[in-house]
């Protein structure tokens, strides 16, 4: 899949070095094909890291993907420069009149806060409402999934006794659903969170379908509205070293943190972590783009009622 980005986006050079097909704006406009338009509401503090991870995840189908980075106006980022945000990001007000084939709402390291106390909660609820009328399918990641399940379905998160941290095995629950087509019966995926949405509460709502879950980590993949809403409780987009960076960051700050499970060889944090989840992460995003975006979105979205 060619990822279409602005010519001077800093992570473009990294993606090209990794042999990922990145198409600049000049080449894209000379192709006689309508790109799939994906919005990325990036709520993570290190936005360039998340850009790189998500663009990698979207790079494995033959579709041309036009990614629009979106940020909330009601929060001032402390970890990403204003110059980067002004140059590469749009506010919600700037895109609210546009239609998107797909939309991604990332997580944020604020899961221990009550939803209503988050400074951009009101704006986020407006965006989540807007996705129901302006987006073909929306993926919500980690805290973004918890926020969406709370807002759309009234299911609140609960605190965990300790951080759910590491690589956990998950079982596919319904192989007939295209979103998990090509998955193994059991597959690994990263988690990094202090809260959980209980499986039994999700299962009790007939509007929601659990597609993958873990005995230890809980629900991982949930779907609603025939795929118009998808909730991913973990971080399939994480890089090899992301959990390592989080572990060493928290340890250096003196925070209570244990080794991420099933991550370091022999639980030795001096060794290079094994990358065991990338294949299924790529399948997940490829299935989403193909079956829930490309196959159902109209060629001309102007005036299209959702």
| Catalytic residue positions, numbered | 142, 235, 237
Distance of alpha carbon 53 from alpha carbon 246, whole angstroms: 15
Secondary structure of residue 91 in the 3-state scheme: strand
Distance of alpha carbon 217 from alpha carbon 66, whole angstroms: 33
Distance of alpha carbon 210 from alpha carbon 228, whole angstroms: 14
Question: How many other CB atoms sit within 10 Å of the CB of residue 207?
Answer: 10
Eight-class DSSP state of 163:
E
The number of C-alpha atoms within 13 Å of 258 and in the hemisphere containing its C-beta is 10
Burial zone of 156 (CB within 10 Å; 0-12 exposed, 13-18 middle, 19+ buried): middle
258 in Cβ contact with 251 (< 8 Å) = no
């Amino acid at each position: 899949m060619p990822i279409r980005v602005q010519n001077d986006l800093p992570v473009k050079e990294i993606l090209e070095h990794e042999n990922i097909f990145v198409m600049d704006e000049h080449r894209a406009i000379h192709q006689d094909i309508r790109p799939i338009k994906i919005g990325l509401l990036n709520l993570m503090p290190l936005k360039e890291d998340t850009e790189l991870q998500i663009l990698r995840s979207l790079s494995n189908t033959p579709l041309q993907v036009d990614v629009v980075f979106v940020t909330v106006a009601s929060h001032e980022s402390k970890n990403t420069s204003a110059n980067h945000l002004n140059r590469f990001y749009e506010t919600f007000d700037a895109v609210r009149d546009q239609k998107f084939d797909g939309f991604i709402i990332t997580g944020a390291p604020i899961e221990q806060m009550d939803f209503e106390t988050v400074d951009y909660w009101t704006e986020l609820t407006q965006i989540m409402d807007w996705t129901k009328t302006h987006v073909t399918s929306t993926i919500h990641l980690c805290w973004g999934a918890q926020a969406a399940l709370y807002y759309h379905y009234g299911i609140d998160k609960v605190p965990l006794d300790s951080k759910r941290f590491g690589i956990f095995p998950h079982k596919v629950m319904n192989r007939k659903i295209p979103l998990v087509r090509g998955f193994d019966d059991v597959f690994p995926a990263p988690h990094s969170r202090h809260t959980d949405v209980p499986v039994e509460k999700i299962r009790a709502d007939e509007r929601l379908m659990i597609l993958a879950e873990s005995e230890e980590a809980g629900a991982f993949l949930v779907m609603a509205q025939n795929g118009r809403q998808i909730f991913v409780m973990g971080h399939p987009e994480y890089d090899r070293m992301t959990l390592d960076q989080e572990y060493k960051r928290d340890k250096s700050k003196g925070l209570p943190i244990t080794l991420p499970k099933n991550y370091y060889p022999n639980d030795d944090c001096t060794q290079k972590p094994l990358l065991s989840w990338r294949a299924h992460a790529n399948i997940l995003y490829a299935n989403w783009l193909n079956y829930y975006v490309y196959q159902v979105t109209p060629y001309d979205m102007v005036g299209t009622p959702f």
